[in-house]
């Protein structure tokens, strides 16, 4: 456990070493960890817990996810159950359905909760926007959150590689006096490298803003804008793709993740450094108002209402698939599909 101070803001970081396996087993020995859902987070977190010998069961509807879970070693009647049965058996219920799925299943889950149970989320959407979701937990259960800062696939692959992914944690309701200990223990047990504290509200506001901006929405828009400018000025698809995408994600961005933006700048040419330093403030000035507008839309609940309304429509899935297909068919991603085959790791070494 370390206390850090960044720009006058002090916070405590929970490290993996603070919860060795013996301590985790002691804290969680009487828990039946019931994971509802087998999407990316449900799958990643459940497999990581199972691999370490914790008492974990999975709750699903019968269908494609059920079949997938069985193929990955979950056994019906032993550690694989229908969702309501798993929820009744669990003492620490990880509610990892999609936001829409949580809204639909909540009336049934609420009836399965017992006094002293721990209701665990990996995203605070359902709780923070309870006026719209109607997810209001009873007062006699702990309500906690552990939100990995990455996809469930990354949670799993980092665990298998012997690494961890950072995660935030929060306590919304402490009915037992053990809520903080429970969420920190499970947060480390699912494979987190370290944990930092937040609140349900801050997690949701930062997460929804991040998804719409730098993590997904902004990055798609920015890449597409540069690619199209280069193509309009006569550059080939290969050149536009490599300059807009391949060089960024295969060469430069990993350097940022490794040691920071300044280190990446220091390892580029002086021409690149000068241009980046000159143009970065202009992009910041242009983009910051858009991000502020996005944050306010998240903060007011407008983004949540848009999401809930869209997900509740019967034709949502076909429309979503059509939108994703439209993106996949954009020239730059079609170029990428072809050009990724030429990455060096796919080629035989020279002799």
Give Rg (Cα) of the chain.
22
What would the DSSP string read from start to end of 69-94?
HHHTT--BTTTEEEHHHHHHH-SEEE
Strands of the chain, DSSP E: 2-6, 9-15, 33-36, 56-60, 80-82, 92-95, 118-121, 142-148, 165-173, 192-197
Active site residue 123: yes
From 9, 123, 194, 233, active-site residue: 123
| Cα→Cα distances 229→240, 243, 244, Å | 9, 12, 10
Tokens representing 314 are 């019967």
| DSSP structure string for 190-241 | TTEEEEEE--HHHHHHHHHHHHHTTTTHHHHHHHHHHHHHHHHTT--HHHHH
Residue 308 and residue 132 in contact, taking contact as beta carbons nearer than 8 Å: yes
* Alpha-carbon gap, residue 116 to 24, rounded angstroms: 19
Question: What residues act catalytically?
Answer: 123
């Amino acid at each position: 456990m370390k206390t850090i101070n960044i720009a006058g803001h002090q916070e405590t970081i929970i490290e993996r070493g603070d919860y060795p396996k013996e301590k985790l087993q002691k804290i969680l020995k009487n828990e039946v960890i019931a994971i509802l859902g087998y999407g990316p987070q449900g799958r990643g977190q459940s497999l990581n817990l199972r691999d370490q010998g914790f008492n974990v069961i999975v709750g699903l509807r019968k269908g494609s996810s059920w079949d997938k879970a069985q193929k990955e070693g979950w056994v019906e009647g032993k550690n694989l159950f229908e969702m309501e049965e798993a929820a009744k058996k669990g003492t620490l219920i990880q509610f990892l359905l999609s936001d829409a799925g949580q809204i639909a299943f909540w009336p049934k889950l609420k009836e399965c909760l017992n006094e002293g149970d721990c209701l665990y989320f990996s995203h605070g959407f359902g709780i923070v926007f309870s006026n719209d979701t109607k997810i209001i937990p009873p007062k006699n259960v702990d309500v906690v959150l552990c939100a990995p800062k990455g996809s469930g696939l990354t949670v799993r692959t980092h665990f298998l590689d012997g690494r961890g992914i950072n995660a935030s944690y929060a306590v919304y309701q402490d009915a037992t006096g053990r809520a903080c200990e429970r969420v920190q223990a499970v947060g480390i047990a699912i494979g987190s490298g370290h944990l930092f504290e937040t609140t349900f509200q801050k997690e949701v506001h930062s997460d929804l803003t991040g998804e719409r901006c730098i993590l997904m929405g902004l990055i798609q828009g920015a890449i597409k804008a540069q690619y199209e400018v280069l193509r309009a000025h006569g550059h080939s698809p290969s050149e536009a793709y490599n300059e807009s995408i391949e060089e960024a994600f295969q060469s430069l961005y990993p350097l940022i993740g490794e040691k920071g933006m300044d280190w990446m700048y220091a390892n580029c040419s002086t021409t690149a450094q000068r241009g980046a330093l000159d143009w970065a403030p202009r992009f910041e000035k242009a983009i910051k108002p858009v991000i502020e507008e996005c944050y306010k839309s998240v903060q007011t609940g407008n983004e949540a209402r848009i999401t809930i309304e869209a997900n509740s429509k019967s034709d949502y899935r076909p429309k979503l698939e059509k939108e994703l297909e439209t993106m996949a068919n954009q020239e730059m991603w079609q170029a990428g599909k072809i050009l990724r085959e030429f990455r060096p790791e796919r080629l035989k070494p020279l002799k």
